[in-house]
Structure 1
Amino acid sequence: MELQSCINYLLTTAQHEVFQTFSSGLSQFNITPGQYGVLSCLWKNGSCTPKEIAQILRLENSTISGVLDRMQKRGLINRVVDPEDRRSVQVVPTEEGSALRDDVLRLIERLNVEILSGFSPEQKGILLDGLRKIGNVERADA
């Protein structure tokens, strides 16, 4: 099989291009695509445990721990210990983390449109449905 026909090569190459575009765009807010993922979880849910964030983003707990450390140092999140169960920690956005929401979401929407601009509406639907199927990801509006 030719490399250019291998699904792993194609997905890796496409993911790299998308990641670079998002990294560049999000740099104006001094956040990374991974940090956007964490903030998105918190904006939607209000608070989450580190384990819940890792499950939603499909990352290892150890990976999330480092991301949360950097975000806390940056002032985007706080970790709050549950007074009823000191082993339970909730991650919550700070005022600064919450204040980024509208501007970041507008940027994410614009970047998605930009990245998919070469596709017809039908092609976009097929691509997104195919990626969801490969990744076992449910539609948000389902």
Structure 2
Amino acid sequence: MYDLQFSEAAVTTWTVLRQTWTAVNKVAELKLAKVGLTPEKAAVLWFCRDYPGTLTPAEIARLTFRENQTIAGLLNRMEKEGLVRRVPKRKGHPFTEVKLTAKGEEACSPGVEVYKKLITGLVSDMSEEEQQHLQKVLAGLRDKMMQEMHMELRKPVAYPPDEPIPVIW
């Protein structure tokens, strides 16, 4: 791999951002593969386990920044593997719900543990101030791209609007 420094600072910034995400995601893929999961499956299992409200395929798409069709395909595969089940629309519930199965519950904990080690290891050398600064910079970039896509960020409806979202390791 190369440490690419370009004559345009913006291109170097873009490259470092892309390389960082690619490296983090690759490490997640390798570590999660050891417990039989992909980053996408682990994220869905974690949301299914901890999301405080009714979890729908559309909500999973919003939580993961994925397209509805991508989530539909992922849920199809996860359902075939016995990790989740979709509860069809029924009277009083005008949408399909996604629920963990016992097998999904069992698979979730090792995936969350992998993420816990990855996340805490990634930022272990950063002070809280450095983390907050990085969050601010990255949030600014994210917000700019959200505007480009004419999309609005909002807190998931199942969480209190003025409180941080709790993390359950």
Q: Is the pair's TM-score, using the shorter chain for normalization, greater than 0.5?
A: yes
RMSD: 2.7
Between Structure 1 and Structure 2, how many residues are aligned? 142
Matched, 1:129 2:152: no
Superposition TM-score, scaled by structure 2 size: 0.70
Structure-2 separation of matches of 1:85 and 1:100: 31
Q: Which structure carries more strand by proportion?
A: 1
Matched, 1:67 2:74: yes
Aligned to 2:50: 44
Identity value in percent: 24
Give 1:109 deviation, angstroms: 1.3
Out of 94, 99, 102, the position equivalent to 2:106 is 99
Cα 1:18–1:140 shift into 2, 3 Å: farther
Structure-1 separation of matches of 2:50 and 2:63: 12
Q: Secondary structure at the match of 1:84?
A: coil
Give 1:3 deviation, angstroms: 6.1
Q: Secondary structure at the match of 1:16?
A: helix
Cα 1:130–1:53 shift into 2, 3 Å: same
Q: Which structure carries more helix by proportion?
A: 1
Give 1:108 deviation, angstroms: 1.0
Q: Secondary structure at the match of 2:95?
A: strand
Unaligned runs of 5+ in 1: none
Structure-1 separation of matches of 2:131 and 2:98: 34
Structure-1 separation of matches of 2:118 and 2:50: 20
Structure-2 separation of matches of 1:141 and 1:71: 29
1:5-84 equivalences under 5 Å are: 5-6=10-11, 7-45=13-51, 47-84=54-91
Aligned to 1:90: 97
Structure-2 separation of matches of 1:115 and 1:26: 16
